[in-house]
Chain A
Amino acid sequence: MSSRKKILLKVIILGDSGVGKTSLMNQYVNKKFSASYKATIGADFLTKEVLVDDRLVTMQLWDTAGQERFQSLGVAFYRGADCCVLVYDVNNAKSFDTLDSWRDEFLIQASPMDPEGFPFVVLGNKVDVGEDKRVISTKRAMAFCQAKGGIPYFETSAKEAVNVEQAFEVIARNALAQEESQDFNPDFPETIPINIGEQNQGCSC
């Protein structure tokens, strides 16, 4: 098997602005939380090496701006993603309501080979804030995830490092499974056999 090949897992983190995408990523990679992250402009990523079932993989976590108008230039990053993390703020109903459109948008932009089977993970962040502020119940979030084909769901706090590690472990695992199912590697031009006649619909336009 090609299992000794270096594995890079590309993970895209999406969600409304201010739900804590940057914080989650930094908590996971750097074990740090800062209340004063600036609003993300453009895109950035962090990498982390992890062992998944004693396979060493490199996770490349992409963080993007949350305001949706900035997504139109983000297409470039979505391509070749192995997993998409949808983040909302459990204290903000709007951010939960938009999860669906984030998911749809991702599927359109990234156009994965098998949209039905593409791995998503949903994170309900900021559970540290307190029950009185909370507007989205666990039950409601779980129902959503069930309806979308059983998306794994975690309630996290980037601030208090609650469930972050666990969530990203699942993200890594699902991304790896996705990566391996793609082993014929569509984004690897060198290995594509030359049968130009077969080139189907919208590839690199």
Chain B
Amino acid sequence: MASTAGIEDASRDPPSPPSPTASFYDMSDDSEREYSTIRHSRSGKGVKLLYTKSKVYVHPTSSARDNVPGYIALMQQKPAAGDVTTPSTSPEPSARRAQRRSLLLAWVPESSLGEASSTYAKVESSTSPSPPQHSPLVPAPPVTTTHSSSLGTYAFSVPVSEVFSILVRPPNSGWWHGSVVINTRAGDSFPALFFHDSECQSTIEQRKRLQRENFSISSPEGSGGVFWGGDELIRWLKSYVHVERSAQEPSIYLIDPNDADKLSFGSGGKPTSHNVRNVLEGKHKDEPAMHKQGEDPVTKALKQARWSFLEKMAQVTTFTRRTAQAVAENKNLPPQVKRLMQSPQVQTVSDEFDSARLYLARWAMGIAEQSEKERNQRIWTAKDVLEMEETGVGEFEILDLDAQNISLADKRKPVSLQEWKGYFNASTGRLERTPDEVKERIFHGGLATDDGARKEAWLFLLGVYDWTSTKEERRAKMNSLRDEYIRLKGAWWERMVDEQGTLEEREWWKEQKMRIEKDVHRTDRHIPLFAGEDIPHPDPDSPFAEAGTNVHLEQMKDMLLTYNEYNRDLGYVQGMSDLLAPIYAIEQDDAVAFWGFVKFMERMERNFLRDQSGMRLQLLTLDQLCQLLDPKLYEHLQKLDSTNFFFFFRMLLVWFKREFSFEDILRLYETLWTDFLSANFHLFVAMAILEKHRNVIMEHLKGFDEVLKYVNELSGSIDLPSTLVRAEALFKRFQRVVEAIDRKSSFPAAPVARQRVPLPLPPPPATSPGVDGRPRQASAESGSGARRRSSSTAVAVTTGRERTVGDHVGAGVGAEKERVVTPELRALLSREVPKLDKVEVRAHGGGVGS
């Protein structure tokens, strides 16, 4: 290796392992010759462009319009001869110092690149992980070690030797772009450089590559965040100089720190309010005596502490004033930080952080979701399922999903129309499998989306047709159902025309008609079927008269009004239109869809009662389920006053209709209709969604309002297939827990103190008798193969109102282990669909009765 005069040998270059060859003259390509023609000019025309990254912006003002896009770059200039011989004040080898001096950290606005822009683009797109051997030359940006106000929109470069530290703020400290600030040894800070990663092709490529290679795009810097442009900068620097992350201040990277730096950094001196103010107002310039090696270490530490402090604020603040105060009163906060908090500027910033936080939590989840989706591209294996559970819930045991001889992949293949038809006898049309077999297939695989399988199969799943019926019986049944539909439709039509009934009834009908009108016009209008406004509205007085309507909307209205007639005890209630739309979309025949809906409503009625008792019961059950399956999460929710589980109200009311795409809803509904594992499987789906987000909820969410907001905004982002797998796993786990408790409780019981379960809901209105929307047969354990009941048999008949636990099971388990099976929970093992009887609906439906 040639060592030319004035240039020290690379072999003397100390540690930094992946160090490239240090000798400038190691170039062997054409660029060397080119370079040598301009080498005398230190600030002249050519420097080697080692690394660069585009879409790094300076934000000179608070307006995004003023942002200036540019390139950040690491360059190498030819060291002037003098540099090397200049006696160095530091004890380090002069060689290293010289090398650092030859390195420039630069920012160049796009607009000033001129002809060099293609060179920049080429270097940026280079994917080699090791330092470049041959680097093209680009014009040198002006070298500076201080920044004046005129800087910011003009190119600048700083010798790396003059860089004291780099403040690195990854993008996850706010919804802002990640940024870096270069702090020089002279105590100056350059304007922050913002990495607009989403616009930067090379960062996007790098993320993709990381994901391909590691199934992860997390930052190599271990910040837990996502890989971003700033990570690259640190990597470049590390390959040339010693970069040390400050132990005290992880967002600070010290560049080639000497011992004095390490020692002085963050130590000593008492902060004064003067310092604090200067830091806040960015007035480092006014500071008096600069230390020789940099600014006042206290100021520096404070300046650096500021961002990390705000980051911490971001983790703890909440919408409620409560927590902000709690933070201020936190004993662990150093006094100077407390003082900082009082400053109006910090308050403003922390407010911004505040609203950023929910966004962040979602965003973090989004990333996880994305990578999960990519994994889902592969065929499910038992291992996948297991892995998912381990990360999601923790202590799952091995699933017996693959115990059967059908592989998971086969089980999860949709049932095609052909397969469906094959289940039936060709001549009689009678089912030749057990309904359970068919249900299991649909539960795991769903029905094919494009061949009409749903149109047939849904009528069985919904219970319009008996599983045991023949083709002929079904035909007869449908004929009479059609007649009945027409009769019912005629009944309300006459009612409207003739204004029959009492004044109260007429008012009710008018109101209901209006409600249906309004709701149908805002139900699933994004689906092509319901989108059109191609026919004039039949009623000129309708608020939608001007907008127009379409035939399917009109059918929807007719069906809902017919339901209002059919079930006058309950009538139409908001949310029902959401439940009807999928059935109509599949059947596309009003009479058929109507009866499918009627059957669906039999199990959903309890959601719509005037006293909301059915919803209360389900929310209560969810409360208990969470308590049993994930006590830690439950404890957290308790702290947030969120154990009323109201944030699941929407999901339960219309079976996740607002959370998933229309396509996914079709799949979800047919899964739930099978009642294959439980007639209340939707509660396990809810639990699965909750579990998936448990970490975010526990780490980030600090109040009831935040939980509600977070859960509401999951809408549209939940992956259905993995949620179903998770729900199934949760059910199995639940089943095992119940079995274990039952086994234990069959031992002689020791008296156990009655323990109160936290009351999650206000008691129902006094007018409600002991109905609670509970299905009559909720405690019966049919189907699913006689679960062991042993000594707890007697308890299951207690009413849902009974909120005292411990007397059921708990006995023999020991008081410290509070795992109990309430009647609500036990009912979850049942595959019998919970239905209300007519008397209950009449008492609590809130309709006009018959």
A53-88: CB near B (< 8 Å → 1, else 0) gives: 000101010000111011011011000000000000
Question: Complex Cα distance A73/B653, Å?
Answer: 13
Residue ID in chain A nearest B352 by CB atoms: A49
Interface centre among A42, A43, A188, A190 (most CB of B within 10 A): A42
A41 sits at the interface (CB 8 A)? yes
Whether A35 lies near B547 (C-beta < 8 A) is yes
Stretch binding the partner chain, chosen from B129-137, B316-324, B373-381, B462-470 = B316-324
B543 sits at the interface (CB 8 A)? yes
B846 sits at the interface (CB 8 A)? yes
Question: Complex Cα distance A38/B530, Å?
Answer: 13
Whether A73 lies near B612 (C-beta < 8 A) is yes
B477 sits at the interface (CB 8 A)? no
Whether A65 lies near B616 (C-beta < 8 A) is no
**A17 partner residues in chain B, CB cutoff 8 A:** 515, 518-519, 574
A18 sits at the interface (CB 8 A)? yes
Question: Complex Cα distance A142/B575, Å?
Answer: 34
A44 sits at the interface (CB 8 A)? yes
**B575 partner residues in chain A, CB cutoff 8 A:** 39, 41
**Chain A nearest CB, measured from B604 CB (Å):** 13
B611 sits at the interface (CB 8 A)? yes
Whether A36 lies near B526 (C-beta < 8 A) is yes
Given that A6-B321, A72-B765 are known contacts, is A56 also in contact with B351, CB under 8 Å in the complex?
Answer: yes
Whether A41 lies near B654 (C-beta < 8 A) is yes
B300 sits at the interface (CB 8 A)? no
Whether A67 lies near B522 (C-beta < 8 A) is no
B681 sits at the interface (CB 8 A)? no
Whether A60 lies near B649 (C-beta < 8 A) is no
Question: Complex Cα distance A139/B610, Å?
Answer: 35
B360 sits at the interface (CB 8 A)? no
B756-787: CB near A (< 8 Å → 1, else 0) gives: 00000110010000000000000000000000
**A65 partner residues in chain B, CB cutoff 8 A:** 574
Q: Tell me which residues from 64 to 116 in chain A have a Cβ below 8 Å from any Cβ of chain B.
A: 65-67, 69-70, 72-73, 75-76, 91-92, 94
Question: Complex Cα distance A66/B577, Å?
Answer: 15
Q: Tell me which residues from 537 to 556 in chain B have a Cβ below 8 Å from any Cβ of chain A.
A: 543, 547
B635 sits at the interface (CB 8 A)? no
Question: Complex Cα distance A190/B326, Å?
Answer: 10
Given that A4-B344, A36-B522 are known contacts, is A69 also in contact with B351, CB under 8 Å in the complex?
Answer: no
Whether B522 lies near A6 (C-beta < 8 A) is no
Whether B515 lies near A76 (C-beta < 8 A) is no
Residue ID in chain A nearest B328 by CB atoms: A5
**Chain A nearest CB, measured from B528 CB (Å):** 14
A184 sits at the interface (CB 8 A)? no
Whether B616 lies near A73 (C-beta < 8 A) is yes
**B611 partner residues in chain A, CB cutoff 8 A:** 69, 72
**B708 partner residues in chain A, CB cutoff 8 A:** 43-45
**Chain B nearest CB, measured from A59 CB (Å):** 11
**A133 partner residues in chain B, CB cutoff 8 A:** 543
**B355 partner residues in chain A, CB cutoff 8 A:** 47, 49
A1 sits at the interface (CB 8 A)? no
Whether A8 lies near B321 (C-beta < 8 A) is yes
Whether A4 lies near B573 (C-beta < 8 A) is no
B644 sits at the interface (CB 8 A)? yes
A7 sits at the interface (CB 8 A)? yes
B325 sits at the interface (CB 8 A)? yes
**A69 partner residues in chain B, CB cutoff 8 A:** 573, 608-612, 846
Question: Complex Cα distance A17/B514, Å?
Answer: 10
**A205 partner residues in chain B, CB cutoff 8 A:** 762
B709 sits at the interface (CB 8 A)? yes
Question: Complex Cα distance A159/B347, Å?
Answer: 35
B646 sits at the interface (CB 8 A)? yes
Contact of B612 among A4, A36, A58, A72 (CB under 8 A): A72
**B610 partner residues in chain A, CB cutoff 8 A:** 69
**B484 partner residues in chain A, CB cutoff 8 A:** none
**B846 partner residues in chain A, CB cutoff 8 A:** 69
Question: Complex Cα distance A17/B191, Å?
Answer: 52
B712 sits at the interface (CB 8 A)? yes
A129 sits at the interface (CB 8 A)? yes
Q: Tell me which residues from 23 to 54 in chain A have a Cβ below 8 Å from any Cβ of chain B.
A: 35-39, 41-45, 47, 49
**Chain A nearest CB, measured from B321 CB (Å):** 5
Q: Tell me which residues from 181 to 200 in chain A have a Cβ below 8 Å from any Cβ of chain B.
A: 188, 190
**Chain A nearest CB, measured from B41 CB (Å):** 53
B511 sits at the interface (CB 8 A)? yes
Question: Complex Cα distance A133/B765, Å?
Answer: 39
**Chain A nearest CB, measured from B540 CB (Å):** 10
Whether A70 lies near B522 (C-beta < 8 A) is no
**A92 partner residues in chain B, CB cutoff 8 A:** 514
**A42 partner residues in chain B, CB cutoff 8 A:** 646-647, 649-650, 653, 712
**Chain A nearest CB, measured from B653 CB (Å):** 6
Whether B649 lies near A73 (C-beta < 8 A) is yes
**Chain A nearest CB, measured from B146 CB (Å):** 36
Contact of B347 among A4, A18, A38, A72 (CB under 8 A): A4
**A7 partner residues in chain B, CB cutoff 8 A:** 321
**Chain A nearest CB, measured from B505 CB (Å):** 16
Question: Complex Cα distance A4/B341, Å?
Answer: 11
Q: Tell me which residues from 147 to 205 in chain A have a Cβ below 8 Å from any Cβ of chain B.
A: 188, 190, 205
Whether A5 lies near B319 (C-beta < 8 A) is no
**Chain A nearest CB, measured from B847 CB (Å):** 11
Question: Complex Cα distance A17/B322, Å?
Answer: 33
Given that A38-B658, A41-B575, A72-B765 are known contacts, is A91 also in contact with B543, CB under 8 Å in the complex?
Answer: yes
B582-614: CB near A (< 8 Å → 1, else 0) gives: 000000000000000000000000001111100
**Chain A nearest CB, measured from B609 CB (Å):** 8
B704 sits at the interface (CB 8 A)? yes
Q: Tell me which residues from 312 to 366 in chain B have a Cβ below 8 Å from any Cβ of chain A.
A: 319-322, 324-325, 342, 344, 347-348, 351, 355
| Sample of 18 further A-B pairs with CB below 8 A, known A42-B649, A72-B611 | A8-B319, A17-B518, A18-B514, A41-B650, A49-B351, A58-B351, A66-B574, A67-B515, A69-B573, A69-B846, A70-B574, A70-B612, A73-B612, A73-B616, A75-B762, A94-B514, A133-B543, A205-B762
Give me 15 A-to-B residue pairs in the complex whose CB atoms sit less than 8 angstroms apart, sorted by A's number: A35-B547, A39-B523, A39-B574, A41-B574, A41-B649, A42-B649, A45-B705, A47-B319, A56-B348, A69-B612, A69-B846, A70-B574, A73-B649, A73-B761, A129-B543
- The list of the 6 closest CB pairs from A to B, nearest first, reads A42-B649, A42-B650, A18-B518, A41-B650, A67-B574, A69-B610
Contacts from A to B (Cβ < 8 Å): 4-8, 17-18, 35-39, 41-45, 47, 49, 56, 58, 60, 65-67, 69-70, 72-73, 75-76, 91-92, 94, 129, 133, 188, 190, 205
